[in-house]
Amino acid sequence: MALFEIKGANFFYPSGEDSEIQALKDVSLTIEEGEFVVIIGHNGSGKSTLAKLLNGLLLPASGQVVVDGKNTADKQHYWPIRQQVGMVFQNPDNQLIATMVEEDVAFGPENLGVPTPDIVKRVEESLRQVDMLSYRRHAPHLLSGGQKQRIAIAGILAMRPRCLVLDEPTAMLDPRGRREVLETVRRLNREESMTVVWITHHMAEAVHADRVLVMEDGSIVMQGTPREVFSKTKLLQSLDLDAPDITRLGQMLAEDGYAISQDVLTVEELAVELCR
């Protein structure tokens, strides 16, 4: 069964006295359990609004969002959906509250009323999942950005969600932190079949996705495998987006007469093409 089923969702924000901005326009989307979906799109295209619809933080004005068979508009599903769909945002500092890593990770399950011995187990397990167990007694504010973001993810995992929705989780990180966080989430997807919705402006983060969605002006305008999406250079450019650097490098070399396919996605693939 699909984990998310969005049908004809529209969303408006109030703007000024009696006008409004339509942030989502008739969006329909199905996300299967275990999928790794990346959402890209220009600033203001509606990515964050869509993310907030996924766990019921926002409700569509019309249309519906169904998570694991539960409509987000139904009040009785409010908490189950919040627990099942974990949200991770840009700034890890806003997501960490305690003075010690393990207290921070315990916060979510404590709020869910999980019994103390189970909390201890969950905290340990979640910190291990993000490879941060040895930092359990550290102060979160002294960690690197990538480590902080992994602690924030552990805090979500401790609530045992079915899905992670990450809204530009690497935007404030250096390249190493970006790599750490992406690797951690990819591993959760691969090894534990965690469903992932990953929003980013970094095209390179989309190359390993099962599916890439491109948003523009409140609509999903393109979707497919990374290879399908990133080989449509002209269409991407018309949306003011680029293919990943490696894909573009391959395309430039092809323009210069090298026999390289237009859809290489990784350094390894480009190397293979060049050695052919």
Ligand X SMILES: Nc1ncnc2c1ncn2[C@@H]1O[C@H](COP(=O)(O)OP(=O)(O)OP(=O)(O)O)[C@@H](O)[C@H]1O
Binding site for Mg ion (CB under 5 A): 47-48
Nearer to ligand X, 95 or 147 (CB): 95
Cβ neighbours, 10 Å, residue 185: 24
21 binds, among ligand X, Mg ion, none (CB under 5 to 8 A by kind): ligand X
Could you tell me the CA-to-CA distances from 266 to 47, 105, 207 in Å, in that order? 25, 34, 8
63 binds, among Mg ion, ligand X, none (CB under 5 to 8 A by kind): none
Nearer to ligand X, 109 or 169 (CB): 169
Nearer to ligand X, 102 or 168 (CB): 168
Taking the complex as a whole, the smallest distance from the CB of residue 132 to ligand X amounts, in Å, to: 27
Taking the complex as a whole, the smallest distance from the CB of residue 167 to ligand X amounts, in Å, to: 7
**Piece of the chain touching ligand X by CB under 6 A; list 13-21, 126-134, 155-163, 267-275:** 13-21
35-94 positions binding ligand X, by CB under 6 A: 41, 43-49
244 binds, among ligand X, Mg ion, none (CB under 5 to 8 A by kind): none
Any residues with CB less than 8 A from the CB of 49 and at least 6 apart, and which?
11, 13, 23, 24, 58, 218
Q: Using CA atoms, how far apart are residues 24 and 219, in angstroms rounded to an integer?
A: 6
Taking the complex as a whole, the smallest distance from the CB of residue 131 to ligand X amounts, in Å, to: 28
- The one-letter amino acid code at 254 reads A
What angle do helix axes 245-255 and 267-275 make, rounded to 10 degrees? 20
Taking the complex as a whole, the smallest distance from the CB of residue 38 to Mg ion amounts, in Å, to: 14
Closest CA to 267 of 180, 196, 208, 199: 208
Q: Using CA atoms, how far apart are residues 259 and 116, in angstroms rounded to an integer?
A: 61
* 59 burial level (CB within 10 Å; 0-12, 13-18, 19+): middle
Verify binding: residue 15, ligand X, rule CB under 6 A. yes
Interface residue with ligand X among 8, 13, 237, 272 (CB under 6 A) is: 13
Task: Report the interface residues with ligand X, using CB under 6 A.
Answer: 13, 15, 21, 23, 41, 43-49
